[in-house]
Structures are given as structure tokens and as C-alpha cells.
Amino acid sequence: MHLAISLDIAAATREAVLDFSRISKFVLQAEAAGVDMVAISDSADGPSSSPFEATTLLAALATVTNRIGLVASASTIAHQPYNLARRFASLDIISHGRAGWNATMAQSAGEAANFSRPEGFSDADFRRRSEEYIGIVQGLWQGWDADALLFDKSGGRFHDPEKMHLLDHKGEFFSVRGPLNVARSPQDTPVLVLSGLSEPDLDNAARTADVIFMDSGSVESTKIRFDDLKRRVAARGRDPDAVKMLATVPLAADETPTTVADRLETQFRAKSCDGFDIRLPARHPALDDFAERVLPELRRRGLVRETYRGATLRAHLGLAGGGDQ
């Protein structure tokens, strides 16, 4: 079972602004517990009690952790695709192949109003724009072959010109020549996480996503959506296992570790998801409970692996391109 912890820093404490050392302690604790990844949600449109924009926080966390995957939200409204692709490519090298981008498919009207788009986009336009955007970002991430850099001092060849590829994208919303001026990712490309999907987004998600966060309902309804999604993935010629669907579960304070473990086990054994995106407020008691009581229980039941086996986020998730698994 794959496990992500979504840190909702904005919702964490109304009382105090979190400081970096508190957040990093929290993430180190999740790392010690062997969690696949921590996801930092972010949006530039509401009151926040976190002083950090997610990609800057991710970069800082990358230097104080070693194994855990680090995923940040970044909006397609707030960034140009070239800049976003570049930021995450760079984060992936800083973290030695542990970075992921969480793209939300839901438009935030408040955000558009802060980015010189007071009228926003129609749903249909936003959807076509997002699809084009994701295609550009993934294309840019593949602009340099993994063996493009030669570092040949005496021969005067820094890189092999044949192994750098222009994107030359000309589309409805964007025109991007490329290539990126960042080297190829240590895990092939950063992990693409999609969230906020509605029905018309599913085919594009099936084509492009590595991970999908999906709201969980009853076991039955979640399973129907899981099976539908995996069918769509296969229909696009991809291995159904190449996309991991994680069901989002907020943890209620009054649940005992056993009831939480039971709930997750039932959902997982019913094959209604590949794992879970656990929503935790960034407070230690919540993580303490999860790391020290729920996780050992899941391990005891043989549902969660003992330790990290690989070095990259793709390796943790069992995705191709991640090196040793």
C-alpha cells in the first residue's frame, strides 16, 4: 500500500505561524516512518498561516531529508509552463530524484484575480488549457537525454548536441520552443500528481498522471472509480500499474489506531485504491498517532513495506524510471 501524507499547513494552526524547523521535524518523522511522500498543498488565493510558498519550502526540505518523496502544489494560473517545468526539474535535482508536482485540475477564481485574469477561464477553456499545459511540462522534462552531459574537458565537449531536443510546441494557449536549461531528472522525470479531477478530466489524467489523488467515498463507489480509471489507463496503452490512485482520507481525531487501520485495510483489500493520501494538519500529535500507532499496525498486517528500498520517489511508488526498487 502506498502512503502519502498531505500537509495542510494553511489549516494547521490558526494560532501560530509555523516555522521551518517545526515543519522539517514533522517531515523527518514521516521519513523515519517510511512514508512514500509528503505533499504540500498551496494556493495563492486565501488566508494562510504558513509563511512559505510550497516550491520554496520543498527546496529547503530537500536539503534536510534523504529518502522521502516531496510533492508541492503549484498552480497553472500562477506560473508559465516553462517556469514551472524548470522549477520542478531543478527541485528534482536538488532532492536527488524525490520531487513531484501536484497539479490541480480545479480552477480557483480567487487565484485568477491575483494573476491579471479577473474574468478567469470558462471550465472548458480551463480544461483544454490545463491539458496543453501538462503536455508542455512533461515534454520539457524530457528535453535532455539522460546521457546528454559529457563533461569532456580536454575534448571541449560539455554536452552532446544530438541529445538535447527542442520542444517546438505551438498550441491554442501556449507557444514554447524549449529546451529547458536544467538537466534530466535523476528519476527520469519528476512525478506528476493530479488532484481535483472531475469526470471530463479522467482521460487526460489516464494519459499523463503518475499519481492521482481521489476523494474517497464508500468502498463500493471508490472501487467503481478505481476500476474505471484503470480501464482508461489501459485504453491509452499504458500499464494500469503505471498510475497509482491514492484515496484521500482525512483522519478524524477521535478514531483509534485500530479503527483507522481497519478502515484502510478494508478499502485496500477491496482493491479500491493503490494506497492513501492521508490528510493531516501539520501538528505533531496527529503525526505521532499516525506514525507510532497506525503505521506499525498496518506493517504488522503486512500492508506497508518495512523501509525504503530505492532512492527516488518513482522507486518508492514502484514506477518505471526510478532506478532500483
Partner 1 sequence: MTARMKLGAFLWATGHHIAAWRHPKAHVTAGVDIDHYIQLARTAEAAKFDMIFCEDAAGLREANVGIASQTSRSIGFEPISLLSALAVQTSRIGLVSTASTSYNEPYGLARTFLSLDHLSGGRAGWNLVTSASPIEAANFGSTGLKPHADRYERAREFAEVVTGLWHGNAPGHDGQSFSVHDPLDLPRSPQGAPVMVQAGASDVGRDLAARTADVVFTAAQTFEEAKAFYDDLKGRMAAYGREPDDIKIMPGVSPVVAQTEAEAREKHEELQELIPDDVGVALLSSYLSISDLWRHPIDGPLPELPESEGMKSRQALVVEQSRRDGLSIRQLARHFAGARGHWRIVGTAAQVADELQARFEGGAADGFNVMPSYFPGELDAFATLVVPELQRRGLFRRDYEGRTLRDHLGLKRPA
Alpha-helical runs (H) found in the chain: 9-12, 20-32, 54-64, 81-94, 109-114, 123-140, 202-208, 219-235, 257-269, 284-289, 295-300, 313-317
Give me the count of residues in the chain.
325
SS3 (DSSP) at 26: helix
The contact pattern for partner 1, residues 40-79, with x = CB under 8 A and - = no contact, is: ----xxxxx-xxxx-xxxxxx-xxx-------------xx
Nearest to 6 by CA among 72, 92, 100: 72
> Which string of x and - marks every residue 11-40 that binds partner 1 (by CB under 8 A)?
------x--x---x----------------
CB 36 within 8 A of CB 105: no
**Of 14, 15, 156, 237, the one binding partner 1 by CB under 8 A:** 156
**In the complex, least distance from residue 98 CB atom to partner 1, rounded to whole angstroms:** 12
Using CB under 8 A, count the residues that bind partner 1. Answer: 62
Strands 275-281 and 2-8: parallel
Stretch that binds partner 1, among 30-38, 113-121, 230-238, 306-314 (CB under 8 A): 113-121
Q: Which one among 37, 70, 82, 261 touches partner 1, defined by CB under 8 A?
A: 82
DSSP state of 35: -
Do β-strands 211-215 and 244-250 pair in parallel, antiparallel, or remain unpaired?
A: parallel
Nearest Cα neighbor of 45 from 105, 103, 109 is 109
Q: Which range in 82-90, 218-226, 246-254, 298-306 contacts partner 1 by CB under 8 A?
A: 82-90
| Binder among 66, 114, 258, 266 for partner 1 (CB under 8 A) | 114
Cα distances (Å, whole numbers) of residue 31 to 34, 37, 67, 300, 303: 5, 8, 7, 18, 17
Q: Which of 113, 234, 242, 303 binds partner 1 (CB under 8 A)?
A: 113
Query: Is the CB of 177 or the CB of 236 nearer to partner 1?
Result: 177
- Applying CB under 8 A, the span of 121-129, 152-160, 258-266, 312-320 interacting with partner 1 comes to 152-160
Binding site for partner 1 (CB under 8 A): 17, 20, 24, 44-48, 50-53, 55-60, 62-64, 78-80, 82-83, 86-87, 89-91, 93-94, 110, 113-118, 144, 149, 151, 153-154, 156-161, 164, 170, 174-179, 181-183
